[in-house]
Structures are given as C-alpha cells and as structure tokens.
C-alpha cells in the first residue's frame, strides 16, 4: 500500500503544489505571497485558525505597513479591529511586539540561529516564543493563544501554525516562498491540524490517535519514507484533499 500511496501522493502534489491550485480556494498563503515578507507571512500564519475564507478576509483588512510605524501610530490605526479570540488590544499588542522584534533582528536570523544548534525547528519556535515574552510583558487569552504557550521538554501542542510558517518560508517551489535558505527541508515538521489528522488516520499514515506534537513527529517520520529530503511537500495536497472533501473517494482507489 505504501508504494501505491506514495505514487498517488506524488501525482497529487504535481496538481496541488501550484500557484493556480493555491488560488482555487481561500488560503492565508495567498496573502503572504503578495508581500513575500517574513513578518507579514508570520502574521498570516499565526492568524490562520478557523474558517479559511474568514482568515483571508481578515488578513486583507490589515495594514501591514504599521509594523514599521511607532507604537502610538499602531494604537491609533488598529482601533475597532477584532478577530475571533483577539480583541482590539490584543491585535494592537501583537503588532507592537512584532514591530519591536523587527527593530532588533530579522526572523530569518532569529529562527535560523536557533535551528542550527541541533537542526531542530521546534527549538527555533521556542526561542522565538521566549523572545516574544521578553520583549512585551502583555498577556491575555487572545494574545497568548496567538503566539502560543512556552513548554518544558516537549510541546503538547502540534504547533500547526508555526510549522506551516516554516513550510512557507523554507520550501521553495511554485507554492512556497523559500525565503529562509539556511534551514533544510528535511528538518521541517508537518503542520498538523484536526482535518489533516483525520485524513492521515484514514490513509494509514498515522497510527497515534491523539492529536498532539507526538503525532506530528510520527506523521513526519512516515512522510520521510516517501521523501527523506522534503517530507512536508505533501502537506498542502493532503490538506486540500480534506478541504475539498475528496478524501473518501480518493482513498477508495488505494
């Protein structure tokens, strides 16, 4: 079955990992591709929870140039803006936090330096989260949800939005941006959401029945059997199978 599944997935990514396929349905990467900027892409990725159409509609309302303005201007220009778990204050503080980071260091340098110690992207995410906590002491449910929770030893969360950001920034093809050039695609982890989790169980790519970080590691390891150097190239195609509800029909032919 693995050989058949690999052949079908390889054929699928030729159809799905394209600019044309990306714009067939709403996706936050559509907005990130317009700007090709590491900070704007991070905002697009970390706001990417919930309905894809609503995510894109919200991202299109944002004035990303505020990241380069002073904090008084940020507060003034983000009045009245809310998104799901984030209220107006949360969104203001998110922009302020990232504007402070931007004045100090590029995300490419921050993430890459942390990654290179053990060739581990999860290490890089933790270093970033600690940087965020240090640079702005603000805390609320919406703000903390946006950036994520610092962990000890191993995260419980699948860290889907961060892994998706790394996919966008590290992989380079017609789909992804390839801005971070010193992180290897072999070290990327699958951006696992609940839909991809169910799809992976259906296809036999995943045996673990708990939606957590360990499932991310298990699924990534399985996909490395198909492509050891670029296992996450299958992410978008698998996600779209679920989004389009083609998965049941598609799985019957394996």
User: pLDDT digits over 72-98, tens only?
Assistant: 999 999 999 999 999 999 999 999 999
Q: Shortest CA distance to 44 belongs to which of 52, 122, 141?
A: 52
What is the tally of structural domains in the chain? Answer: 1
Mean pLDDT of 4-21: 92
What letter does residue 152 receive in the DSSP assignment?
Answer: S
Tell me which residue has tokens 């966008």.
168
As a whole number of angstroms, the distance between CA 67 and CA 104 comes to 13
Q: Write out the H or E segment, with its range, that includes residue 229.
A: none
Mean pLDDT of 187-209: 94
Pairwise pLDDT comparison (195 vs 221), residue with the higher score: 221
| Other beta carbons less than 10 A from residue 203's beta carbon | 19
As a whole number of angstroms, the distance between CA 160 and CA 145 comes to 12
Asked whether 6 and 71 are in contact (CB, 8 A), the reply is no
pLDDT tier at 240, thresholds 50, 70, 90: confident
As a whole number of angstroms, the distance between CA 244 and CA 227 comes to 25
* pLDDT > 70? residue 251: no
* pLDDT > 80? residue 250: no
- Owning domain of residue 35: 2-252
pTM value is 0.96
Mean pLDDT of 113-123: 98
200-218: per-residue pLDDT in tens? 998 999 999 999 999 999 9
pLDDT of residue 23: 94
């Amino acid at each position: 079955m693995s050989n058949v599944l690999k052949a079908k997935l390889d054929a699928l990514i030729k159809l799905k990992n394209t600019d044309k396929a990306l714009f067939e349905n709403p996706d936050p990467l559509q907005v990130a591709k317009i700007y090709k900027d590491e900070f704007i892409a991070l905002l697009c990725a970390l706001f990417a929870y919930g309905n894809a159409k609503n995510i894109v509609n919200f991202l299109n309302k944002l004035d990303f140039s505020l990241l380069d303005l002073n904090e008084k201007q940020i507060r003034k220009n983000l009045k009245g803006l809310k998104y799901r778990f984030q209220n107006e204050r949360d969104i203001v503080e998110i922009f302020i936090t990232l504007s402070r980071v931007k004045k100090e260091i590029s995300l490419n340098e921050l993430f890459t330096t942390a990654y290179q110690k053990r060739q581990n992207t999860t290490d890089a995410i933790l270093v970033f989260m600690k940087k965020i906590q240090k640079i702005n002491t603000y805390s609320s449910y919406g703000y903390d949800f946006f950036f994520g929770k610092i962990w000890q030893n191993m995260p419980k969360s699948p860290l889907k939005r961060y892994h998706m950001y790394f996919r966008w920034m590290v992989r380079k093809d017609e789909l992804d941006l390839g801005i971070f050039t010193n992180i290897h695609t072999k070290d990327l982890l699958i951006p696992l959401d609940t839909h991809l989790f169910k799809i992976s169980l259906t296809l036999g790519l995943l045996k673990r029945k708990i939606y957590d970080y360990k499932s991310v590691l298990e699924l990534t390891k399985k996909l490395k059997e198909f492509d050891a150097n670029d296992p996450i190239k299958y992410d978008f195609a698998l996600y779209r199978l679920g989004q389009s509800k083609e998965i049941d029909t598609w799985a019957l032919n394996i």
